[in-house]
Amino acid sequence: MLLKSPIVVTGGAGFIGSNFVLQWLAEQQTNVTVLDNLTYAGNLENLTSVEKDKRYHFVLGDIVDGGSMRQLLDEQRPGAVVHFAAESHVDRSILGPAEFIRTNIEGTFQLLEAVRGYWSELPTPQQRAFRFLHVSTDEVYGSLTPTALAFTEETPYAPNSPYSASKAASDHLVRAYYHTYGLPVLTTNCSNNYGPHQFPEKLIPLVVLNALKGLPIPVYGDGQNVRDWLFVTDHCDGIRTVLERGVPGQTYNIGGRQEMSNLDLVQQICIVLDELKPTEKPYASLITFVKDRPGHDRRYAMNTSKIERELGWQPRETFAGGLRKTIQWYLDNPEWVEHVTSGSYREWIDLQYEPSSLTGAAKR
Ligand code: NAD
Ligand code: TYD
């Protein structure tokens, strides 16, 4: 029933948000309004394929601007808000945490206030059916030792980076709006995503694009930090499942049960590239160990039994299949890459890595 209402998607021009909007329009019938302020990570090219779809609307706006958020809700009358908008890159949060506090904490607070005002004036049946779904991360749980059990929804929060601390704060606010005001909220905590449209400051697209240019592939520390990878469409599918069947006030872990070390992952990317775009030397020869990220979490792993058992969700894509599709997408979309790797992307790379990354050394 809920999935028959129009929805508002914050951050819908970013990596996961745009994949979610495309999936929604392909599989659901209802209108989607994307609200995004188009930071360096927001890109309307991610949504070009639906720009003529009458069910899709784009609104340029900042979640920190609570008055405009309330106006948007009053105009669009959504049955749900799916909240992706955030500053999302750990390394940027280390170099400049202020924007993370502003968007992830203040922005989520302002959005919650706007949603609470709108929701409290809805007629009772619509109030009961309404959902606010907050998209969060496994990073709020902190770091695991190599043999520790995977994170469950009961694992205490222990964020270690300004990014994860700001996401943890936003999760707590969302929780409080359920307990204090009865706002029907849902929170999903997901592991590392990969797939088309990911901004190439994140590991997988950065490795693919550096390799194609013959630049060093920077691996932080000893390369033994472990992440749990999930193909982005499986995450989007999980969010739709939680929206439809999740119990208000509950949180749901989403993950791929695909743990691997960064070095292992980078080597796999190199092997796929050797096959799809062979060069004289194997791409793995470009792998370069660089200075570690401060406070670098050693391992993330997600126990996803709750969403599997209670809501019947499971990832569909294998890691090998998802990785190949992702690499192929970057090979097939040089224009998208060209557009996002000019301007502010260049500035970031110069700030984060030694000159043009050619020495392979991370700054800091
Ligand atoms: P992204 O950085 O690619 O996209 C973020 C989007 O939010 C961009 O379109 C940006 O323009 C928009 N935005 C930023 N600040 C805004 C503001 N103040 N007002 C309106 N829009 C704003 O991020 P992503 O990787 O797509 O992540 C989306 C969400 O999923 C985030 O909340 C992130 O914490 C969460 N998440 C990401 C991952 C991952 O692996 N990428 C994993 C788990 C959870
Ligand atoms: P990232 O994609 O930034 O995601 P997150 O920090 O949110 O997990 O990084 C994934 C892993 O890859 C993380 O352990 C840091 C590591 N990494 C590198 O080794 N080299 C790089 O250049 C980058 C960007 C990340």
Residue nearest (by alpha carbon) to ligand 2 atom 14: 225
Q: Considering the domain boundaries, does residue 217 fall inside one?
A: no
Q: Which of 56, 118, 141, 163 is catalytic?
A: 163
Q: Which of 62, 87, 91, 139 is catalytic?
A: 139
- pLDDT confidence of 62, banded at 50, 70, 90? very high
Ligand 2 within 6 A of 90 CB?
Answer: yes
Q: Considering the domain boundaries, does residue 264 fall inside one?
A: no
Here the tokens at position 147 are 């043999």
Q: Is 163 a catalytic residue?
A: yes
The CB-based long-range contact list for 356-362 (8 Å cut-off, 24+ gap) reads 356/215, 357/210, 357/215, 357/216, 357/218, 358/215, 358/216, 359/216, 360/216, 360/218, 360/288, 360/289, 360/290, 361/290, 361/291, 362/218, 362/220, 362/290, 362/291, 362/292, 362/293
**Containing structural domain, residue 183:** 2-195+230-259+296-318
- pLDDT confidence of 344, banded at 50, 70, 90? confident
Which DSSP symbol is given to 151? B
Assign residue 115 the CATH number of its domain: 3.40.50.720
Q: Considering the domain boundaries, does residue 235 fall inside one?
A: yes
Q: Considering the domain boundaries, does residue 313 fall inside one?
A: yes
> How far, in Å, CA of 187 to CA of 25, rounded?
22
**pLDDT at position 356, please?**
46
Residue nearest (by alpha carbon) to ligand 1 atom 4: 14
Residue nearest (by alpha carbon) to ligand 1 atom 29: 84
pLDDT digits (tens, 9 = 90+) for 326-340: 999 999 999 999 999
**pLDDT at position 350, please?**
82
Coil/strand/helix, residue 155: coil
Ligand 2 within 6 A of 289 CB?
Answer: no
- pLDDT confidence of 353, banded at 50, 70, 90? confident
pLDDT digits (tens, 9 = 90+) for 86-108: 999 999 999 999 999 999 999 99
Using alpha carbons, select from 344, 1, 22 the residue that is nearest to residue 201: 344
pLDDT digits (tens, 9 = 90+) for 204-232: 999 999 999 999 999 999 999 999 999 99
Task: Return the percent helix, strand and coil in the chain, to nearest 5.
Answer: 50, 15, 35
Q: Considering the domain boundaries, does residue 223 fall inside one?
A: no
Ligand 2 within 6 A of 218 CB?
Answer: yes
Phi and psi angles of residue 109, each rounded to the nearest 5 degrees, phi first: -60, -50
Q: Considering the domain boundaries, does residue 60 fall inside one?
A: yes
> How far, in Å, CA of 214 to CA of 238, rounded?
37
Q: Considering the domain boundaries, does residue 287 fall inside one?
A: no
Please provide the distance, in angstroms rounded to a whole number, between the alpha carbons at the two ends of the chain: 51
In the predicted structure, residue 1 carries a pLDDT above the cut 50: no
Ligand 1 within 6 A of 103 CB?
Answer: yes
Give the angle subtended at the CA of 242 by the CAs of 239 and 245, to the nearest 5°. Answer: 145
Average pLDDT, the chain: 95
Residue nearest (by alpha carbon) to ligand 2 atom 25: 203
Q: Considering the domain boundaries, does residue 116 fall inside one?
A: yes
Of ligand 1's listed atoms, the one at least distance from the Cα of 11 is: 7
The count of structural domains within the chain is: 1
Residue 165 and residue 142 in contact, taking contact as beta carbons nearer than 8 Å:
no
